[in-house]
Chain A
C-alpha cells in the first residue's frame, strides 16, 4: 500500500510518501529527518495521541489544573479518556508532574498535572 501522510513529530510537518504492507513500513520518501519513520509506522499501524485536558481543583488559586497523559494513548480511545476525566477532581496544592489518575482505563498511561497550583485558604 502507498499513501501520503504528514509527519507531525515537529512543527516542520513534512508531507511524506509512505509505502507499507500488512505487517511493516517499507519506505518513507520526502522526509527531512529520520524521526519520520517511527512516527509514520505508528500512524499506520497503531496511531496514538497525547491527550491534554483540565480538571477542577478544590481550594486552588485558579479553578482548573491542566493535565496530560504521560505517554500517547490509542487515538480511538481519546474520547474514553475524556469521559473518564470528567469524573476527576483534585485538591490543591498541585505540582507539575503529580499523578492525578494512575494507569487511566488500563491504557498504560498516567494522567499527570502540567501546572503548579497554590493552595488558598
Chain B
C-alpha cells in the first residue's frame, strides 16, 4: 500500500479539527494534513444555522456556518492541507493511519496525531423505549440535517424527548417552519440545555417543558401516532397513574451525545468512563505518546468557542511533539472532588498556566469552585449559579501548582 509521511495528521474537519490543524501549521509543523470524511469542511456547524456562536473568541454572536467559514479561511491562509471524502479506517499506536477514499486505500505515517472526530447522537435503541418501530422517530441532529441542509420537513406534530441544546434549537426551528411542537419531556428534574435556549426556543413560543417526565411507549404502525408520557420519581421509576397519551406524528430525541472514539480505542488510547473521551494531560496528549485529543471527541462541549481554544492548544502541542519527539511529563494528578462530575485535564505538567474545564454534578445557586493541592486551597472562586449543562472554565497560573502530588477540585458552598 502507498505510504506518505506527515508531521501532524488531524482526524475530523469540524471546528476542533479546523483549529487544531491551523494552529499546528502556524506553530511550525510543516507537513500537516486534515482528514474529513464528509464532502465539506465545518462538520456539524454547517447545519447549526442558528446564531449564538463566537461570543467568547470573536466577541460577536454569529451563526454556525459563518463560524465555520472564518476557521476555513484561517486554514487556507495558513496553507494547511486537507482532504475531503476520506475516511480513516485504522490508527495504530505508532501513529500510522489507514485511510480510504475514491482513489483507494493508502497509509499515512504521522509524527503526531490529533483526534477531532466529534460525537454522534444517542438513539432510540440506546434508550430502549418500548413499542412498535414506526417511521417518524428521529434524533435532533438528523432533523437538523434534513431541514437545514436537505430541505426536508420531518413532521407536523412533534413531541421532543430530552432537553439537550440541539433539541431546544430544533423545537424553535420546527415551530417557525410551521410544525406544532406539543412539548419537550425531560427525565431529569432540570433542563439539560443552556438557560438561554430554554428562554429563546421554548418560552418564546409557549412550548411546555415537562421535567421529571419521559416517554414510556411509542404508538403507531407505519407512522408514529403518539407517545405515552409518564412522570418519574427520584430513582427514575415511573409514577403509577401518571401516564398519558399525547398525539403526534413525530418523536424527536435529544438525549445526549457519544464521543466517536472507535479509532482512539484501536490505537490503545485510554478512555474515561465518565466523559467517554480520552484521558489527557495539559498538552491534550492521551495515554499514547504523540496522540492528542480535543473538542467533542474529548468531552462534550456546550459552546463551540471552547472547542476552538482547546483545539488550538492541542494543535500547538502536536506540532511541538512532532518536532521534538516528546513533551515534558505530567506528574501532577487532577481529581474531581465533591460536587464535580469531571475535570479536565486529568494530569498536568505544571510547566505553564492551565485552563481547567469542569462540570458540576447538579444545578445549584451560589457555589464556590475550590482547587486544593495537598490539602491547601490554591484557588477559590465564586459562581452565582452552577449547572451540569454549563461547563465551568478556570485558569490557574503555573506558580499555583505543586511540584508533584495531587490537585482536587470541588464545587461547594
Contacts and interface: CB of A to CB of B under 8 A. Distances in A.
28 contacts: A8-B196, A8-B200, A10-B55, A11-B302, A11-B303, A13-B194, A13-B195, A14-B384, A32-B384, A49-B204, A52-B49, A52-B50, A52-B63, A53-B49, A53-B177, A54-B49, A54-B147, A54-B151, A63-B149, A64-B149, A66-B63, A68-B63, A78-B176, A96-B66, A114-B63, A114-B66, A115-B49, A116-B69
A30 interface: yes
A32 B385 CA distance: 10
B176 A53 contact: yes
Contacts of B196: 6-8, 10-11, 13
A115 B200 contact: no
A52 to B, nearest CB: 5
A54 B148 contact: yes
Nearest to B175: A79
Contacts of B49: 52-54, 66, 68, 114-115
A116 B67 CA distance: 12
Nearest to B199: A6
Contacts of B194: 11, 13
B195 A63 contact: no
B136 interface: no
Contacts of B46: 115
Contact of B69 (A14, A30, A56, A96): A96
Contacts of B61: 50
Nearest to A56: B151
Nearest to B302: A11
Given A114-B63, A115-B46, A115-B65, A52 B51 contact: yes
Which 5 pairs between the two chains have the least Cβ-Cβ distance? A13-B195, A8-B196, A66-B49, A115-B65, A114-B63
A15 B195 contact: yes
Size category of the A interface is 20 to 34
> B interface, how many residues as a size bin?
20 to 34
Contacts of B200: 8, 49
A105 interface: no
B74 to A, nearest CB: 14
B390 interface: yes
A119 interface: no
B306 to A, nearest CB: 9
B198 A96 contact: no
Interface string B57-68: 000011111100
B151 A114 contact: no
B149 to A, nearest CB: 6
Contact of A68 (B51, B151, B195, B385): B51
Interface string A6-32: 111111111100000000000000101
Interface in A95-121: 96, 114-116
A88 interface: no
B384 A30 contact: yes
A96 B385 CA distance: 37
Contact of B55 (A11, A49, A63, A79): A11
Contact of A66 (B52, B148, B385, B390): B148
A44 interface: no
B65 A13 contact: no
B150 interface: yes
Contact of A12 (B63, B69, B199, B390): B390
Interface string B62-105: 11111001000000000000000000000000000000000000
B156 to A, nearest CB: 16
Given A13-B196, A63-B151, A96-B65, 13 more contacts: A6-B195, A6-B199, A8-B199, A11-B52, A32-B384, A51-B176, A52-B51, A53-B176, A54-B151, A62-B149, A68-B63, A75-B204, A114-B49
Nearest to A65: B65
A25 B384 CA distance: 22
A32 B384 CA distance: 8
Given A52-B49, A115-B65, A82 B195 contact: no
Nearest to B383: A32
B55 A64 contact: no
Nearest to A31: B384
A33 B55 CA distance: 14
Contacts of A51: 176
Interface in B171-188: 176-177
Interface string B24-67: 00000000000000000000001001111001100001111110
Contacts of A13: 194-196, 199, 385, 390
